[in-house]
Amino acid sequence: MKKKRSRKWIIIILGIIFFFIAIYFGIYLYAKVQPKLPISGANGYHLYDINGEIYTAGSNENVDLKDISRHLINATIAVEDKNFYKHHGFDFFRIIKAMMINLKSGENLQGASTITQQYSKNLFLDFDKTWDRKIKEAWITIRLEAHYSKDDILEGYLNTINYGGIFGIENASKYYFNKSSKKLTLAEASMLAGIPKNPSKYSPLTNEKEAKKRQKIILDAMVKNGYISQSEADGAYNTKLNYEKGTDEENLKMMMYYQDAVMDELSMIDTIPSSFLETGGLKIYTNLDMNAQKALEDSANKNITNEEIQMAGVVMDPKNGKVLALAGGRDYNKSQYNRATKAKRQVGSTIKPFLYYSALENGFTPSTTFTSEKTTFSFSGNKTYTPKNYNDEYANGPISLAAAISYSDNIYAVKTHLFLGDDALPDILKRVGINENVNTLPSLALGAEEINMMDMMAAYSALANEGYKVEPYFISKVTDMDDNILYEYKPKLENVLNKNTVYVLNELLTTTYAKEFQSYNTPTCLSIAPKMTHKYALKSGTTNTDNLIFGYNKDVVVGMWTGYDDNKDVSSKDSSNLKNAWVDVMETYLKDKDDSKLWYETPKNVVGVAIDPVSGKIADNNSKAKILYYIKGTEPTDNKSSLDDSIPTVKLEE
C-alpha cells in the first residue's frame, strides 16, 4: 500500500515537472520568433569627468571570449553553473535540489540561478526583488537562450559582472593584477572567479582570508568537474599572489568612492530606463575634476600620517553644487564604506559659523562681547552644563565676537546660543539645508549633534556663495550610446541668507589664522597660515572622537574629517595633520589662480574699521589692529558694552 502511495506521489511530482518543462519550451518557441535582443554594449557604464574625458567605466573594455584565460572561464562555470552548456537558461534539476535543501533546513542555503539568469539580471540598472522584475528577468533569460549561442552569453556575462566595484573581467584583471585577462594564471583566475558571489566579502584586497576560503571552494569545484588535477589545485592555492595595479591616475586609491557616489545618485534618477536593453549602455557625465581629486588624495597621503585613522574629504564648487572630488576613506581597497556620503559624525565647532550668522542677523557685530571664563550654565529642569575651552584657556574678561571665532571660545558660543534662544541655530541650519532634528540643548552650540559631511558641505556652500543655497551633485548629464539625453541636471539656487551679513561673517572666519589675534590665546589655524597664498574663510572643529575642517573662497569649498570608525579618541596631532592636509588641497587646487578674483567684493552697505582684536574696541596707538567689517551704522564706539547680564550663568570659583 505504501509503495503504491509512493509511486503515486512520484508520478504526480514528475507530472508537474514535465508540465512546467512543456510550458517552458512553449515559451521558448515563442521567444524564437521574437526580435533578437540588442545586447552588444549593453550594461556599459561609460563615465566622463568634468572635461568630457572618459576616466573609468563599468564595462567599457569588452573582451572576446577567446581572449579570456581558459582558467577563468572554467573556474566561473565550475562554481556558478556547471551545467551551463547543457541547459536552456534554467537548470530545473538544480532548482528542485536547492528547493528541497532549503525546505529541509528552513534556511535559504542554496541558490540555483544560472549564468544566463545572472546575465539577464546584469542588464538592469538595479536589482529590485519584485515579482515584476523577476518575471522580466526570466523572459530576458529565455530570449537570450533563444537567440544567442552559449559562448555569446558567457562572453556578455564575463564583460558585465561585478568584481568588487570593477565591472567586466578585463577591467578586473587589470585592476587586481595589472595584466590582460588572457594572461591570468590558474591561481589568479580562481581568486577573481570567487569575487562576484559577494564582492564586499570576497575581494582579496578587502578580506584576503575570506577570499582564500572562496578560492579553495572554486579550485575544489574545478577538480570535481575535471578541469584540473588535485596537484594543480594545490599548487594554485599555495601560490602567493601579488596585487599590482597600474600606476596611472585611474588607480587613485580613493577615486572609487567618487564612482560609488555617482552610481548611488544614478539609481535615484527616475527618468532613466531601468533596463540597459532600452539604452544600449549609458554615458554618464560627472563633475569629477582629476586635478582636484589628485590634490585631495596626495594631501591626505602626505599629511595624515596616522595609518590607523580614517578620513573623508570633499571638494565642491559653491556656485553650482558640483562635487569636484571626494574621498570616503583612506583606501577603497581596504574599506568600501563611504564616510563622506553615508556617515554622520559630531561636527564640533564647525557648527559655530551658523550660530554666529544668526547672531549677526539679530544685532550682534564683530565687536559684541561676552566674558570668557569658567562657567556653569543653568537651563530648563534645573539642569546645568559646564563646557570647557580647549586647553582650559580663558580671557577671564570680555572678548569680542571676532576673538571668540579666532580662538573658538566655547563659553562665548554657549552664551550666544542661550541669548538668541533655542530655535535660532536650528532655524539657520534648516535654511542652509541641514534637516537633521537637532536638539536645542546648550551643547548644540558646540556641535554635539551628528551630521553628514555632504550636508555640511551644502551649508558651507551657502556662505561661500554669498547667501545662495545649492545642492551638491555628482552627475551633470546622462545619455544613451547614441547621445540622446536621458537626464540633465539644472542647478537651483535659493537665496537663504543676507549677502551683507554673509560678507561680515566670511571676513570674521579669516581671523582663525590672523596673527593679530595672538594674545592670551592663539588662533586655531594660525599654524597653517605660512602655507597660505590665498585668502580663505576657515573653521576647524574638534571633539573627543572627530577632527573636522571646512574652508572656502568664491571658487571652491573643501571639507575634511578624520576619526575612527569605532569612535576611539583622536589626538591633537591628528587635528594638526588634518589642517595641513586641508591647506595643501586648497593651495594645490588654486595654484596659479588670481587671488584678486577669489575673494568677495565688499558690499556698499559694509564698512571696514581698524579694531583691537580682543576687546572689539576701536584700535589706538597702544593696541594691535585688525580691519573688521560691519554693516554701516553698527561700527563700534569706545564704550561698547557687554551682553553678559542677559545670560543665566553661574561663575565657577577657582
- The residue from 59, 69, 80, 265 that is catalytic is 80
Between 441 and 612, the more confident residue is 612
Mean pLDDT of the chain: 87
> d(Cα 304, Cα 309) in Å, to the nearest integer?
8
> What is the grid cell recorded at 279?
539604452
Range with the lowest mean pLDDT among 95-104, 118-127, 132-141?
A: 95-104
Say if residue 192 is exposed, middle or buried (CB neighbours under 10 Å; 0-12, 13-18, 19+).
buried
Count of structural domains, the chain: 1
Residue 1 has pLDDT above 70, yes or no: no
- pLDDT of 99 reads 56
> d(Cα 554, Cα 597) in Å, to the nearest integer?
8
Residue 648 has pLDDT above 50, yes or no: yes
- Rounded average pLDDT over 477-491: 92
Range with the lowest mean pLDDT among 162-171, 284-293, 473-482, 493-502?
A: 162-171
203 is catalytic: no
> d(Cα 323, Cα 232) in Å, to the nearest integer?
49
- pLDDT of 334 reads 82
- pLDDT of 4 reads 58
Residue 149 lies in a domain: no
Bridge-partner residues for 495, per DSSP?
468
Say if residue 164 is exposed, middle or buried (CB neighbours under 10 Å; 0-12, 13-18, 19+).
buried
- pLDDT of 108 reads 46
- The residue from 69, 173, 181, 349 that is catalytic is 349
b/e per residue 277-305 (b: at least 16 CB within 10 A): bebbbbbbbbbbbbbbbbbbbebbbebbe
Between 580 and 137, the more confident residue is 580
Nearest C-alpha neighbor of 410 from the set 308, 309, 555, 541 = 541
DSSP string, 123-166: TBSS----HHHHHHHHHHHHHHHHHS-HHHHHHHHHTT-BSSS-
Report DSSP state, residue 85.
Answer: T
For 418-451, write each residue's pLDDT tens digit.
999 989 999 999 999 998 888 888 999 999 999 9
540 membership: H or E segment, kind and range: strand 537-542
For 521-562, write each residue's pLDDT tens digit.
999 999 999 999 999 999 999 999 999 999 999 999 999 999
Could you tell me the CATH number of the domain that includes residue 511? 3.40.710.10
Give how far Cα 190 sits from Cα of 74, 169, 193, 224, 514, Å.
9, 12, 5, 14, 59
Backbone angles phi, psi at 325, to 5 degrees: -160, 155
Residue 145 lies in a domain: no
> d(Cα 185, Cα 245) in Å, to the nearest integer?
16
Give how far Cα 654 sits from Cα of 135, 386, 393, 412, Å.
75, 14, 14, 19
Nearest C-alpha neighbor of 432 from the set 390, 468, 476, 474 = 468
- pLDDT of 380 reads 75
- pLDDT of 426 reads 95
- pLDDT of 212 reads 95
- pLDDT of 189 reads 95
Side-chain-side CA neighbours of 192 within 13 Å: the count stands at: 35
80 is catalytic: yes
Say if residue 550 is exposed, middle or buried (CB neighbours under 10 Å; 0-12, 13-18, 19+).
buried
Q: How many residues does the chain have?
A: 654
Report DSSP state, residue 591.
Answer: T
- pLDDT of 45 reads 76
> d(Cα 458, Cα 469) in Å, to the nearest integer?
7
- Rounded average pLDDT over 265-271: 89
Residue 248 has pLDDT above 60, yes or no: no
Residue 564 has pLDDT above 90, yes or no: yes
Side-chain-side CA neighbours of 323 within 13 Å: the count stands at: 27
For 450-460, write each residue's pLDDT tens digit.
999 999 999 99
- Rounded average pLDDT over 277-293: 86
Backbone angles phi, psi at 607, to 5 degrees: -130, 145
CA angle at 291 for the pair 287 and 296, rounded to the nearest 5°: 95
- pLDDT of 405 reads 98
Give how far Cα 213 sits from Cα of 25, 173, 237, 406, 637, Å.
39, 20, 10, 55, 75
Helix (H, G, I), strand (E, B) or coil at 626: strand
> d(Cα 113, Cα 478) in Å, to the nearest integer?
31
CA angle at 489 for the pair 485 and 493, rounded to the nearest 5°: 155
b/e per residue 112-121 (b: at least 16 CB within 10 A): bbbbbbbbbb
Nearest C-alpha neighbor of 581 from the set 293, 295, 291, 292 = 295
Q: Which residues contact 578 (CB under 8 A, 6 or more apart)?
A: 303, 304, 311, 540, 547, 548, 549, 560, 561, 562
Range with the lowest mean pLDDT among 247-261, 303-317, 445-459?
A: 247-261
- pLDDT of 502 reads 98
Helix (H, G, I), strand (E, B) or coil at 546: strand
| Maximum pairwise Cα distance, the chain | 116
Residue 249 has pLDDT above 50, yes or no: no
Q: Can you say whether the dihedral through the CA atoms of 450, 455, 458, 462 is positive or negative?
A: negative
Residue 2 has pLDDT above 60, yes or no: no
> d(Cα 635, Cα 633) in Å, to the nearest integer?
6
- Rounded average pLDDT over 465-475: 97
For 11-65, write each residue's pLDDT tens digit.
776 777 777 677 767 776 766 667 666 666 566 678 999 999 988 644 457 889 9
Range of the domain at 439: 294-601+642-651
Helix (H, G, I), strand (E, B) or coil at 509: coil
The pLDDT confidence band at residue 653, using thresholds 50, 70 and 90, is very low
> d(Cα 139, Cα 198) in Å, to the nearest integer?
25
- Rounded average pLDDT over 318-325: 98
Query: Rounded to the nearest 10 degrees, how much is the dihedral formed by the CA atoms of 511, 512, 516, 518?
Result: 150
- Rounded average pLDDT over 245-249: 49
- pLDDT of 145 reads 82
Range with the lowest mean pLDDT among 142-146, 168-172, 318-322, 534-538?
A: 142-146
- Rounded average pLDDT over 69-76: 95
**Sheet strands side by side (includes 537-542):** 323-327, 310-316, 557-563, 546-552, 537-542
> d(Cα 595, Cα 591) in Å, to the nearest integer?
10
Given a contact cutoff of 8 angstroms between Cβ atoms, the answer to whether 347 and 548 are in contact is yes
What does pTM read for this prediction? 0.83
Residue 287 lies in a domain: no
Range with the lowest mean pLDDT among 246-260, 460-474, 535-549?
A: 246-260
